[in-house]
Structure 1
Amino acid sequence: MKQLLLQIFTWWNGQTMGTRFFTWRHGKRVGEDEMGNIYYEGTMTSFGLPRRWVVYKGYAEASAIPPGWHGWMHYRTDTPPTKETYVARAWEKPHQANLTGTAAAYRPQGSIAAKGERPAVTGDYDAWTPGS
């Protein structure tokens, strides 16, 4: 019941009823990424390209799409990652979603949100005042 109400009244928790119906009518499942997001391809757009969309698992956050799927979603490649053997380079870091606004967000030294003390002011800065 909760899932049904979320689909009716919210767009940020997975798919809405409209997206579910559109996917049922026009979508062809292309694949799924390691985070559980499901990717679809459907009818042609007015530009002559197949329409592509993703149904997020949980909260709809665009930065949760891994690099390989991002390239496919934005028509940089026509081959989805599920149909190719992609091996990450040694220098590539694993994909991480944007953590801004969460407890795990980056907080540099001196930030109000960071723990600890702010560094002392060195005195080499003179504030601007009008008329000086």
Structure 2
Amino acid sequence: MAKGGIGQIIFELFGWWHGQTLSTRLFTSLRGIRVGEDEAGNVYYTDKARKRRWVIYNGPAEASAIPPGWHGWMHYRTDVPPSETEYRPHEWEAPHQPNLTGTAAAYRPHGSILTPESRPRVTGDYDAWSPE
């Protein structure tokens, strides 16, 4: 959907799950101070008193899409945002992968009703409990 116009206003009124709402846009324009932006295009804000912090997502509102450095700032683990430091992710920090639950690419273990494979049979190391 193209940004701007009456369509954008209607979308912000009823499409809260895909981005900022109209009230968030107004609050941000009146009280927000832009702190920075991450590599995914998410924009981070704080208020003038530096008591509140929020993000305007670039796309669907997916909290797991916040990178580790910004996550620390959003959750008050640090007062210095990554935009003001030389933050570099650790080598063990994996890049973001979207949540695939509910999609055709979701994980489906053997034995799921959505896969043709059957669950492996139980071997002799397991005895089912039965009341006596």
Q: Would you call these one fold, judging by a TM-score over 0.5?
A: yes
Q: In the alignment, which residue of structure 2 is the partner of 1:120?
A: 121
Q: Is the 8 A contact 1:26 1:43 kept in 2?
A: yes
Number of aligned pairs?
127
Aligned residue identity for 1:5 = I
Aligned residue identity for 1:28 = I
Q: In the alignment, which residue of structure 2 is the partner of 1:21?
A: 26
Q: Normalising by structure 1, report the TM-score.
A: 0.79
RMSD over aligned CA atoms reads 2.3
Aligned positions of 1:73-112 closer than 5 A: 73-112=74-113
Mapped to 1, the partners of 2:115 and 2:71 lie a distance apart of 32
Q: Is the 8 A contact 2:70 2:81 kept in 1?
A: yes
Segment of structure 1 superposing worse, 2-11 or 35-44: 2-11
Q: Secondary structure at the match of 1:117?
A: coil
Q: Structure 1's 43 and 101: CA in aligned 2 closer, same or farther, altered over 3 A?
A: farther
Aligned residue identity for 1:16 = T
Q: Structure 1's 67 and 104: CA in aligned 2 closer, same or farther, altered over 3 A?
A: farther
Q: In the alignment, which residue of structure 2 is the partner of 1:33?
A: 38
Quick check: 1:12 aligned with 2:13?
no
Residue 51 of structure 1 and its aligned partner are, at CA, apart by: 0.9
Aligned residue identity for 1:80 = P
1:40-93 per-residue CA deviation (whole Å, 9 max, x = no partner) reads 11133xxxx521101112211111111111100111111111111122333332
Aligned residue identity for 1:116 = E
Q: In the alignment, which residue of structure 2 is the partner of 1:59?
A: 60
Mapped to 2, the partners of 1:67 and 1:97 lie a distance apart of 15
Gaps of 5+ in 2: 1-5
Q: Secondary structure at the match of 1:12?
A: helix
Q: Structure 1's 102 and 33: CA in aligned 2 closer, same or farther, altered over 3 A?
A: farther
Q: Normalising by structure 2, report the TM-score.
A: 0.79
Aligned residue identity for 2:13 = I
Segment of structure 1 superposing worse, 120-129 or 52-61: 120-129
Identity over aligned residues, as a percent?
63
Greater than 4 Å deviation, 4+ residue runs: none
